Chain A
Amino acid sequence: MSTLGATLRAAGRPLLIPYVTGGLTANWTDYLDACQDAGADAIEIGLPFSDPMLDGTTIQRASDRALARGATIGGILAGIEAASRRLSVPLIVMTYANLALRLGAPRLAAAGVRGLIVPDLPLEESAALEAAAAEAGIDLILLAAPSTPDDRLREIRRRSRGFVYAVSVMGTTGERDTLPATAVELVRRVKHHQPDPDGPERLPVLIGFGVSTPEQAAEAGRAGDGVIVASALMRRVLDGATPDDLRVAVAALRTALDLGVSSGTPYAEVSGDRR
């Protein structure tokens, strides 16, 4: 099986990674199938944590609801394991250090997880997990922020696997009206530190946090190599969206991203329900 990074590089289009909170509903893994059907290049699955320090209200609510309905990490991993057999897109887990370090890379790998994002594990704390993840065949994806100075950015670029997660804004996860200017600037800086923009070592740079609408996704897709969309999707599920509803929302993002590559292409007509 090729690595997450190789799979993403081979996609040949702006990358779309939708996020689904594990255990959010009884049929939560159906949302994974919907994401794949709608053209996701990979899917990020959040393992809900009681104290999500970097999440805004929507993902907090989704995590709280999953835990309140009795979802367990063990149960969610079983769901991921089953989904990984049926789905062809790589599955990425996002969770906080207390859960990630306790689970360990081998257990995640055994569940079919191909990538891991731990938002409260900065460079200074991540070496052990980087080694364990590499050993287990999991790409540990590191995050870069607008406040990250150049020397750290270089180190993040060097040590990240799969892709570089560019945090678009100084803030928590959550929908925003416009794509912040800091996102474009950060992607430019990360790309500047690529050893060879076209070589095999090139890492895709994906923009996450606050990418809410198809218009923003297209804009982010033009600036970077793709987007991660979480709150805008989980808000819909919290409001009762079915897997079919989510498929439509993800498909709108897919279309906007694909049309958005050539700057100036009209894409407004595929926009979803902005708020």
Chain B
Amino acid sequence: MTMSVMRDPAAAGRFGAFGGRFVPESLVPACEALEEAFREAWADPAFRGQLDMFRTVYAGRPTALTPAWNLSAELGITLLLKREDLAHTGSHKINNVLGQALLARRMGKTRLIAETGAGQHGVATATAAALFGLRATVYMGERDIERQALNVFRMTLLGAEVVPVTSGSRTLKDATNEALRQWVAAVEDTHFCLGSVAGPHPYPWMVREFQRVIGEEARRQCAAELSTGVPDVVVACVGGGSNAAGTFAGFVGTGARLVGVEAAGGAAMTHGTPGIVHGSRSMVLQDDEGQIAEAQSIAAGLDYPGIGPEHAQLGAAGRAEYQTVTDGEVLTAVRRLARAEGIICALESAHAVAWVLRAAGTDELPHGSTVLLTLSGRGDKDMIQLSDMAALTGGPA
């Protein structure tokens, strides 16, 4: 099945009824310049070649496709893990950041600013800034700073400035607002290195294109691994939705079922309504008057009331489906994957695992199914949070 989805959203940045560019007039010229620069760079083999080089020799791509041998046997399915946790800095975020940092340098910008939730995007931004000699400032909600102290330290060690955001819910949504505000005042020399497939055009499209490498590699690797060539189901966790968008982009033209897994407390696709936040129209958790709700998730990276506009389109078109799992299911999934496969994944990535654990052997995911799961990041950043929780509950994490 091929659909006219996951293509170039053209000048208006529309994904069906979603997307667009809802930004202050002050930022319109910057968004237009970024779109033009990205179009030009993405069509330039020299830029592509440079990015490929850094992906390979710096970020460690292609990442492995690892069969989850033991879990597959236990669940009666074939589960393949796309190991973004093995990429440099520990998550898929590096894919996007290498692209944007190269683009920023090409545009003559000398500084990156970024928002971060779990801190993985902030770490990736700080990393690329160090590599390319750019200055970096990362905005992070005060609440996330508390629960992701290790990543705050990593960013600082890499030379980035981490600015606590104390407004609103003090999480990712507020960090994104603050980064947008700061960008208005610094747009001359500063590139806003947005971490997800959200925000104003061209970000949802550009970030998906920079993350497309996940899906394209996985598609080739699945073709070699599976007798059917293509898995029955492709699953990834979704907050803003960048690892899912990159993964889906490799399979949207196949017959594979695409499943995005949201945090139950941040399920914009499942419980949201159409709205405008952070520069684009998408599905949003909001009240009857349009005030944006505060998400609640154990995973800081999924603690976000919106979702990328292209996911809203994929959902509306029925090309992808969106499921939710609870914090409790996520904790179980972290432990089960660790014990079965010797892989400690990030709380965010564990959402995808949790859905597979619940669905396997049911009509949702019958025995014998082949599943590609993108493991978006590794769990090192969550160890303090998990050990604190274990101390509270008196048991092992």
A54 and B184 form a contact (CB under 8 A): yes
Min CB–CB distance B106 → chain A (angstroms): 20
In the complex, B314 has a CB within 8 A of chain A: no
Q: Contact partner of A147 among B30, B177, B180, B181, CB < 8 A?
A: B30
Q: Which of A52, A57, A64, A145 has the most CB of B within 10 A?
A: A145
In the complex, B56 has a CB within 8 A of chain A: no
In the complex, A119 has a CB within 8 A of chain B: yes
Q: Bound complex: CA of A53 vs CA of B179, how far in Å?
A: 9
Give the chain B neighbours of A101 by CB distance below 8 A: 276
Q: Contact partner of A148 among B28, B167, B278, B291, CB < 8 A?
A: B28
Closest to B275 in A: A98
In the complex, B154 has a CB within 8 A of chain A: no
Are A120 and B289 CB-contacts (below 8 A) given A60-B167, A149-B29? no
A98 and B292 form a contact (CB under 8 A): yes
Interface of A is mostly: loop
- Name the interface residues of B146-189: CB closer than 8 Å to any CB of A: 167-168, 173-174, 177, 180-181, 184-185, 187-188
- Name the interface residues of B1-50: CB closer than 8 Å to any CB of A: 12, 20-30
Give the chain B neighbours of A152 by CB distance below 8 A: 25, 28-29
B22 and A121 form a contact (CB under 8 A): yes
In the complex, B237 has a CB within 8 A of chain A: no
Q: Bound complex: CA of A259 vs CA of B20, how far in Å?
A: 45
Give the chain A neighbours of B276 by CB distance below 8 A: 96-98, 101, 120
B185 and A171 form a contact (CB under 8 A): yes
Are A122 and B25 CB-contacts (below 8 A) given A50-B291, A53-B177, A73-B290? yes
- Name the interface residues of B267-314: CB closer than 8 Å to any CB of A: 275-279, 284, 286, 289-292
Min CB–CB distance A169 → chain B (angstroms): 8
For A, the interface residue count at a CB cutoff of 8 angstroms equals 42
Are A64 and B167 CB-contacts (below 8 A) given A122-B25, A144-B25? yes
B12 and A51 form a contact (CB under 8 A): no
Min CB–CB distance A221 → chain B (angstroms): 22
Residues of B with Cβ closer than 8 Å to A?
12, 20-30, 167-168, 173-174, 177, 180-181, 184-185, 187-188, 275-279, 284, 286, 289-292
The 24 listed contacts between A and B (C-beta, < 8 Å) are A50-B291, A51-B177, A53-B24, A56-B181, A60-B167, A98-B276, A99-B290, A101-B276, A121-B22, A122-B21, A122-B25, A124-B12, A124-B28, A142-B25, A144-B25, A145-B25, A147-B26, A148-B28, A148-B29, A167-B24, A170-B187, A171-B184, A172-B181, A172-B185
